[in-house]
Amino acid sequence: MKKIITPKRNDWALLTQRPNLKVEDLSALVQEVFLDIQQRGDQALREYTQKFDKVNLDNFKVETQEVEDAKNQLSDDLKNAIQVAKNNIEKFHLSQKEEKQIIETTKGVYCWRESRAIEKVGLYIPGGTAPLFSTLLMLGIPANIAGCRDIILCTPPNKEGKVHPAILYTASLLNIQNIYKVGGIQAIGAMTFGTESIGKIDKVFGPGNQYVTAAKQAAQRYGVAIDMPAGPSEVLVIADEFCKPAFVAADLLSQAEHGDDSQVILLSDKDEVVEAVLKEIAQQLKNLPRKEIAQKALENSKAIVLENLNECIEFSNLYAPEHLILALKNARSFISQITNAGSVFLGNYSCESAGDYASGTNHTLPTNGYARNYSGVSLDSFIKKITFQELTQEGLQNIGPSIEQMAEAEELIAHKNAVSIRLQSLV
């Protein structure tokens, strides 16, 4: 990590920039695959699955027996761990349900809002070196609570044409039955247009590589909504003299091992804290199976010493991290100052891994500075809000003249007449 001591405020904006990693222009490839799937459906899917995943599949849908077999391939300890996470995620997301409130804005004028599930949602779960069954919990649970009618799961097959057993087991826990062995651009394309096997969806959720990200962005042009803009994962840790350097180092490395394009930021008001953490990072890095990946991520990361903790919070708000860890003695006292962050972890024992897996909050969060204007996935991500209003005769008489005046001022006379004709009928 590059260490920076008390940078000038004029330099903060530059320091908050993410690494400028080269990303391919995939728009032409995505468009080619999309149009082919739109025209040829499953046949195009078979060809792209063979080309990109190196496996020939006649049937994309996962059969019931495959799901049953997966249940026997997982240890009881892992099954119990998944159940603990499921229970906590359900409890937290159930708390997000809103009760209907009917508001009488004027005597005889009633307004309220009701939630309706997005009917058809698609969940994309990567299945390569890191089969993210935890993300399936994070997406499938709120989709179920919302009451989404159709939930489609797409995940890439391995070279044997199989899906990771942990993904299948988690899907069975969530009663997700429409599971398809399709990955990459072709999976997003299939859900965007629908094929003979895979249904068309209204909104797609889930992480992926740059191919999946480009495909999700393209899907929006065809009327499919997405969860949020995606980018490499990131964490920012603010640590004071009361932090545990070994804990902070472990948090930074847990994020760095996601990928060589991940970024980790350490802020402190004490140089000795930064030095202690950097020493711990060097020690812990030696024992990581993914140390080469973590090392590359650390090369693009920074440890910054600022004047005080308030400056650290200001810098963090400017950076707008996906994950923010306050490894501080009095972490709660800074909550009101935090304006931009995807998810916040308070104190020495609130590791980011807790939010990633089992505390209950959702780990699908805005990255690349989008925490300034996006929230993480929640129950609201799977529902729409519909407003209702009901006017009694008295209600129309109370606000009708105001409507007439405003409509006439905008020269929309038919709007005015819609009120006037009713008011005249009441005379």
Catalytic residues: 322-323
End-to-end distance of the chain based on CA atoms, in angstroms?
A: 78
CA distance 214 to 66: 31
Cβ-contact 156, 181 below 8 angstroms: yes
CA distance 388 to 392: 14
CA distance 281 to 253: 7
Q: Tokens at residue 267, please?
A: 């802020």
- What residues pair up with 124 in beta bridges, in sequence order? 154
51's CB contacts (< 8 A; 6+ apart) are none
- The amino acid occupying position 328 is L
CA distances from 196 to 38, 41, 43, 60, 155 (A): 11, 6, 9, 11, 18
Stated as kind and residue range, the H or E segment containing 324 is strand 323-327
Q: Tokens at residue 368, please?
A: 């690349």
